[in-house]
Amino acid sequence: MALIEGSTTVKTWKGSYSFATDGGAQGTITLRSSDGPLPIGSYILSGILEVTTILGSGGSATAAVTVEAANDLVTATAFGSSPWSSTGRKSVVPVATGATSIKTTASRNPSLVVATADLNAGVFNLYLTYR
């Protein structure tokens, strides 16, 4: 979805992760989205993380979701801890305040960052509101 100059309309971006499709190796995994990347200069206002299959790992994997800087959407936690340890809707860091909003400095998709061990299961969707 392209940013229209002068537009103040709040938009929604949806990204997805599935171990079956995206793998789970340690590193950065870009979330898939039919909405395209979030445009440069976007203000991410709020969002929801919806876990449909809990993350799994044969080790002690941690997972975070980032768009602009480390831990800016979902803080890194162990795969067996909240928000990854149960299904359902979860909070993200931006909660529609100036202090928690994120301004993108490049056009990009949010990413899942996997560290310390590989994942072997998991499915989630990320919904973000931005302008």
Of all residues in the chain, the percent with pLDDT exceeding 90 is 93
Paired strand residues for 28: 113
Per the confidence metrics, is the pTM higher than 0.75?
yes
Q: Is the pLDDT of residue 6 over 60?
A: no
68-84 pLDDT, tens digit each: 999 999 999 999 999 99
User: Domain 11-130 is of which CATH architecture?
Assistant: Sandwich (2.60)
CB 38 within 8 A of CB 128: yes
Q: Work out the pLDDT band at 8, boundaries 50, 70, 90.
A: confident
Cβ burial of 18 (10 Å; 0-12, 13-18, 19+) is middle
Q: Output the pLDDT for position 2.
A: 54
- Domain range annotation of the chain: 11-130
Mean pLDDT throughout 94-123? Answer: 97
